[in-house]
Structure formats: C-alpha cells, structure tokens
C-alpha cells in the first residue's frame, strides 16, 4: 500500500509514527508523576521508575535533604552525615502493541489499531529521549515479532516499522481467524525478555483478557512497572438502541443493525465489560490502567492522563 494514499485515521504509516517524536517530549513515565496523573493516585499503581544505587556517606552540607541523614553514622560520629544515592542510569522499556483484527474498528476519529500504533510511538520516543533502552513486541492474529531493548534511534525505527507493517496489513475482508489467545502469547514472549525493573507497556483492546492473561500481568508486575493501555472505542459507552452502524476500512463497508439485541449485546460485551474488567485488575495485579479512546486525539489524551495538559501560550 502506498503510504501517501492512506487515510491517517484508518492506517498508521511509518512516516506518521516518526513524526510523533517531537510530540512525546512532555510525557513522563518516571516516578514523580504530576498530582493529576493517572499513574499517581490511591487507586492507580505508581510507576517506580529507575532504582537508586548507594554511592557514599559524607558529612552533611547546608542545603542537603534532611531525609537523607544517616542517623546511625550521625550518632556514632556525633556529626551529621548523609547517605548519597544516585539514580540507576538504565531502565529498559518493552512496548507490546496489539495489531489484531479486533483492533481494526473505529466509530469516530481513529481505528483502535491506529490509536495503539500512535501510543506505541509516543512511548518509544519518550523512553529513548530519557536515555533508556527501548524494545517491543508487535503481534497480530497469526504471529508476533520481537525487538530486544536497545538504546538507539535505529532500534526505535525498526520497532515502528514493524508496527506500521502490521497496521497496514489489516483488512476488513481478511480471511484470518481472530486469535484472542495471541494476547497471552505476547505476554509470554515479554516475560522471556524482561528481567527486573523494566517498564512494560501493553497496548491493546484486551480481547482475550482471560485468567491466564491476568496471572501473567500479575507476575510481571511483581518486579516491573506494568502499564495496561486499554484502547477502546466511544461506541462502548454510547451504544444506540436502534439504527444502522456502518464500519469500514476505507475500501469496504459493513452494516450492523443495532435494533438487533443480539448484535448490541455482543458489541457491549466486547467493549464496556472489558473496560471494567481491566479496571478491576488494577488492584489485583498492581498494574496501572490507562484507558485511551480511539475517538479522540491520542497525544492530547495521553498528556491529560499524565496530568500535564496542553502547553499554555505566553501572552
């Protein structure tokens, strides 16, 4: 498919994902989150960020944080001493992005698959800008590709290329059988790659989020920071009781009669109920949940979720 000819709401080209680099600058996954951040609250898991390494104990100097005073050494020497800690320089990130056929749906603004691709790009660029290694897993209904964490623009480009290729391959008339079990397979692959103190961001609509997936998330969250970016469509909250819903991929269209209760029930089951299930997982697994709608601008939403909001212009 020619990149120049695609609808940006339906497909995510590599050029578009690369252009998101400058828009990722204000997003942070470090431990000091703004008070309005979805990662900083009583009901949301806190992102630990890089760990701290002990460097030395030295005499207290004016301006030192009193919370850093080592009271045992201070008592022994009868002079105030502080414990100096330095932040670990390396905190790798793994970005797992879903490009299955279940993601190829959108009632407003974007296809879920496009929003997922944009989220993956924003996180990758932000992590690289922080000086950390970036890796990723891209999966569809048939296969997955792995890119081990590296600290280089080339690695990010390769990851985004995999994301875009999987995205551009999606078709409404695809003969591929939906594979909800691929979500669990992607997490198994991630578990083989990540060690401890890794930022793991799973971007998906969570089709196939069963007990096996929940247990995998809980295990990974024991020693890593896990963020579940739940991509959902506004239709999950605004399902009409009647009428015709037309969905398509820019070439083919499919009409769904919402007057048929069976169709509405199926759509609601795979949308609203899934959102609530993931929110329940937040307390059970220790992972943070970021609900992101495909019906709004991805960057603006992520900034709002992180509590930074749009940059104000000086008057």
CATH numbers and ranges of domains, the chain = 3-44+91-305 (3.40.50.410), 52-87 (no CATH)
Average pLDDT over residues 187-204: 94
**pLDDT grade, residue 217 (50/70/90)?**
very high
**pLDDT grade, residue 237 (50/70/90)?**
low
Average pLDDT over residues 212-240: 86
Per-residue pLDDT at 46: 45
Length of the chain: 315
Q: Where are the beta strands (DSSP E) in the chain?
A: 52-59, 81-87, 93-98, 134-139, 144-150, 199-204, 225-232, 244-248, 253-257, 288-293
**pLDDT by residue (tens digit) across 75-129?**
999 999 998 876 555 679 999 999 999 999 888 899 999 999 999 999 999 999 8
User: Would the pLDDT of 167 be above 90?
Assistant: yes
142 Cβ contact partners less than 8 Å away, ≥ 6 residues apart = 176, 179
Judge whether 17 and 121 are in contact, CB under 8 Å: yes
Beta bridge partners of 150: 134
Say which residue, 232 or 51, is predicted with more confidence.
232
Coil, strand or helix: which one is 289? strand
Lowest pLDDT segment from 185-199, 218-232, 242-256: 242-256
Full 3-state SS string of 54-103: EEEEEECCCCCCHHHECHHHHHHHCCCEEEEEEECCCCCEEEEEECCHHH
d(CA 145, CA 94): 13
Per-residue pLDDT at 204: 96
Phi, psi at residue 57, to the nearest 5°? Answer: -115, 125
User: Would the pLDDT of 21 be above 50?
Assistant: yes
Cβ neighbours around 300 below 10 Å, total: 12
User: Would the pLDDT of 220 be above 80?
Assistant: yes
Measure CA 300 to chain center.
15
Tokens 């992005």 sit on residue: 97
Per-residue pLDDT at 149: 94
Per-residue pLDDT at 152: 93
72 Cβ contact partners less than 8 Å away, ≥ 6 residues apart = none
Judge whether 48 and 33 are in contact, CB under 8 Å: no
Lowest pLDDT segment from 84-93, 125-134, 161-170, 210-219: 84-93
H or E element that contains 119: helix 112-129
Average pLDDT over residues 204-217: 94
Lowest pLDDT segment from 6-15, 250-259, 304-313: 250-259
Pairing type for strands 244-248 and 253-257 reads antiparallel
**pLDDT by residue (tens digit) across 198-209?**
999 999 999 999
Whole-Å CA distances, 281 to 21, 37, 64, 215: 31, 19, 40, 10
User: Would the pLDDT of 53 be above 80?
Assistant: no
> Which sign, positive or negative, has the C-alpha torsion 220, 223, 224, 227?
positive
Most confident of 20-29, 41-50, 190-199, 240-249: 190-199
d(CA 102, CA 179): 9
**pLDDT by residue (tens digit) across 247-289?**
444 444 445 555 556 655 555 555 566 777 888 888 888 898 8
Average pLDDT over residues 145-172: 95
User: Would the pLDDT of 294 be above 70?
Assistant: yes
Say which residue, 25 or 186, is predicted with more confidence.
186
Per-residue pLDDT at 41: 45
Per-residue pLDDT at 54: 67
When the pLDDT of each residue in the chain is averaged and rounded to a whole number, the result is: 81
3-state helix, strand, coil in the chain (%, to 5): 40, 20, 40
Judge whether 24 and 126 are in contact, CB under 8 Å: yes
**pLDDT grade, residue 156 (50/70/90)?**
very high
Judge whether 112 and 153 are in contact, CB under 8 Å: no
């Amino acid at each position: 498919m020619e990149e120049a000819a695609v609808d940006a709401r339906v497909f995510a080209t590599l050029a578009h994902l690369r252009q998101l680099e400058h828009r990722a600058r204000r997003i942070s996954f470090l431990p000091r989150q703004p008070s309005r951040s979805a990662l900083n609250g009583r009901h949301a898991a806190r992102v630990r960020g890089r760990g701290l390494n002990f460097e030395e104990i030295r005499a207290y100097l004016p301006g030192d944080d009193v919370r850093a005073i080592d009271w045992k050494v201070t008592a022994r020497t009868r002079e105030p001493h502080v414990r100096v800690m330095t932040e670990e320089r390396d905190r790798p990130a793994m970005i797992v992005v879903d490009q299955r056929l279940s993601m190829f749906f959108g009632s407003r603004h974007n296809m879920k698959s496009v929003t997922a691709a944009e989220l993956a790009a924003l996180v990758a660029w932000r992590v690289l800008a922080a000086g950390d290694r970036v890796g990723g897993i891209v999966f569809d209904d048939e296969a997955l590709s792995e890119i081990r964490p590296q600290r280089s623009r080339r690695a990010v480009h390769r990851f985004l290329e995999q994301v875009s290729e999987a995205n551009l391959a999606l078709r409404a008339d695809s003969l591929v059988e939906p594979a909800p079990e691929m979500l669990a397979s992607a997490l198994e692959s991630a578990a083989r790659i990540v060690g401890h103190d890794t930022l793991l961001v799973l971007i998906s609509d969570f089709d196939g989020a069963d007990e096996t997936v929940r247990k995998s998330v809980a295990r990974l969250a024991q020693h890593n920071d896990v963020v579940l970016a739940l991509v959902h469509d506004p239709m999950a909250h605004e399902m009409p009781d009647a009428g015709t819903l037309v969905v398509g991929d820019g070439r083919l269209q499919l009409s769904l009669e919402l007057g048929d209760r069976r169709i509405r029930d199926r759509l609601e089951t795979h949308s609203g109920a899934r959102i609530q299930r993931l929110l329940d997982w937040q307390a059970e697994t220790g992972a943070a949940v970021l609900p992101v709608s495909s019906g709004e601008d991805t960057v603006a939403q992520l900034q709002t979720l992180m509590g930074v909001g749009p940059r104000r212009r000086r008057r």
